[in-house]
A and B are shown apart, each in its own frame.
Chain A
Amino acid sequence: MRRPWFDLGAQLRDRLALRVALGSIYICILLAYVLGVPDADRFPGMMPRADATPYTALPFDMTSFAFLMFGVLLSLEQPSDYLLADNWMVYIRRRRGLGRFMRYLAVVLAYALAFLFPQLAITWWAVRGSFNGHVLEGFVCSTGMVIVLLLVANIARMLDGRAVGYLICLVVAYGYSGVGDVQHAFVGHTLGVVPNWSIIIVVSVVGLTGVNVTIFNHKELL
């Protein structure tokens, strides 16, 4: 028999109305970007270049901000639901262990890619002739950022502080999309070749994963 977490159809049908409602808002924001004057060097989820002209009067880049926040929200906490399912019928037979956490990470990665690939396709369509390595770099960076935020939200949920988790995600997304110093730190290079964002994201994912595992291992089935 297939494992519950392979029941993708059931997962997608669950809370479908809420997902469609959130997705509709996000699609409007994305359309505003694509139908405007898209930056041919930039994936929508990537932070803007410091010298880029904002397409709204907001003190942050709406597209990358919305990208990160909707990336977290559209998951509807389903990866966390999977991780934290308190199914006593299962756990009395096989204890909750690292395997479940690794599957959770796989679910998070799969979700992030499922969220990002359609937007990569849209970007390719929007900037066709000038699709380049910067776009792909932005794609990878954005995937990492969505994963980072999902891990933050999951820690907060395990500590019974979901609202605080979303607030932290909001602050991180704002810093990424609107604070010049953060953006400079991200787009710089270490040793002239390694982009800083890759180091920041790898360190963040490793650190947050460690925190997640530690809390998960101590989480009781109450």
Chain B
Amino acid sequence: MYVQINDFTKTIGGKTVLDAIRVGFEEGTVNGIVGPNGSGKTMLLRALCGFIRPTAGGVSIAGKPVVFNESLPERVGVIIEMPGFIAGRTAMENLEYLAGLDGDWDPRETLRLMSLFDLYEHRDKKVKSYSLGMRQKLAIVQALMEHQRLVLLDEPTNGLDRASVTAFLEEIGRQREGGATVIIASHHDDEIRQVCDHIYTMENGRLDTGHVVSPAVVLAGGHGDESAD
């Protein structure tokens, strides 16, 4: 498995927010994690990013362990909650700054993504003039602009209009064709079902891996359960 989570448990203040999560994600697949607010979806993405220290268990990407606050084994694109862009800088300045942190920026790819999400004409405007939806689209651009091999997206369609959601889903399909592994956490399961290869449900810090849903079958109204093992 490209991404492997091994019995990852996280306890905060006596409360178990991730409970022995054990799952693997294959390379070049799009995976959805659906569940209500507070079910642990965002925390799971933080675990994959190495932003939190496990109480037990661990995570590996491409066979290498993810260690808290140490460099990730692979280039990872991420959206977790509200993006913290520098409001007084333009969109392009923000993206250039972020790309400069790990020293590899592809301006052509960035501009392609900006065009795709109708941000091209606004690229030289300060982020403080952006609407919530535009900021979210800019966050998607920053998560994809460096040809990341693993893309982790938490509620990526929040604040997006219908056209942008369609553009986003098409782009995720394109990322899969390019070999990227995508994990999307969302409570808008009707949207992400259109693009996901597998959908897992999460509740109370537990990931239900016994009932992986095949999205196409679900949309057709059939019984789409298949074994995750």
Question: Which positions in A face B, CB cutoff 8 Å?
Answer: 1, 3-4, 7, 10, 85-97, 217-218, 220-222
Contacts and interface: CB of A to CB of B under 8 A. Distances in A.
A1 B142 contact: no
Contacts, number: 62
B70 A95 contact: yes
A47 to B, nearest CB: 41
A7 B85 CA distance: 13
Contacts of A3: 97
A158 to B, nearest CB: 14
Interface residues of B, number: 33
B13 to A, nearest CB: 10
B97 A222 contact: no
A92 B76 contact: yes
The 10 tightest CB contacts between A and B, nearest first, are A221-B51, A93-B101, A94-B101, A93-B102, A87-B84, A1-B97, A220-B52, A88-B80, A1-B93, A92-B78
Contacts of A85: 84
Contacts of B102: 93-94
B72 to A, nearest CB: 7
A96 to B, nearest CB: 6
A1 B53 contact: no
Which of B51, B83, B93 has the most chain A CB atoms inside 10 A of its CB?
Answer: B51
Contacts of A93: 98-99, 101-102
A7 B53 contact: no
A10 B80 contact: no
Interface string B43-83: 00010010111000000000000001111100011101101
Contacts of A221: 46, 49, 51-52
A90 B101 contact: yes
Interface in B131-156: 139, 142
10 contacts: A3-B97, A91-B49, A91-B51, A92-B72, A92-B77, A93-B98, A94-B101, A94-B102, A95-B71, A222-B12
Interface of B: prevailing SS: loop
A153 to B, nearest CB: 23
B100 interface: yes
B124 to A, nearest CB: 13
Q: With a 10 A CB-CB cut-off, give which of A86, A95, A96 has the most chain B CB atoms.
A: A95
Interface in B90-106: 93, 96-102
Nearest to A96: B69
Nearest to B71: A95
Contact of B78 (A88, A94, A218, A222): A88
B52 A222 contact: yes
A94 B81 CA distance: 19
A85 B96 CA distance: 19
B224 interface: no
Contacts of B52: 220-222
Nearest to A4: B86
Contacts of B93: 1
B88 interface: yes
Contacts of B51: 88, 91, 220-222
B134 to A, nearest CB: 16
B90 to A, nearest CB: 9
Contact of B83 (A7, A89, A94, A217): A89
A97 B142 CA distance: 22
B69 A89 contact: no
Nearest to B89: A1
Contact of B100 (A1, A91, A97, A218): A1
B69 A88 contact: no
A7 B84 CA distance: 15
Contacts of B98: 89-90, 93
Contacts of B83: 89
A92 B49 contact: yes
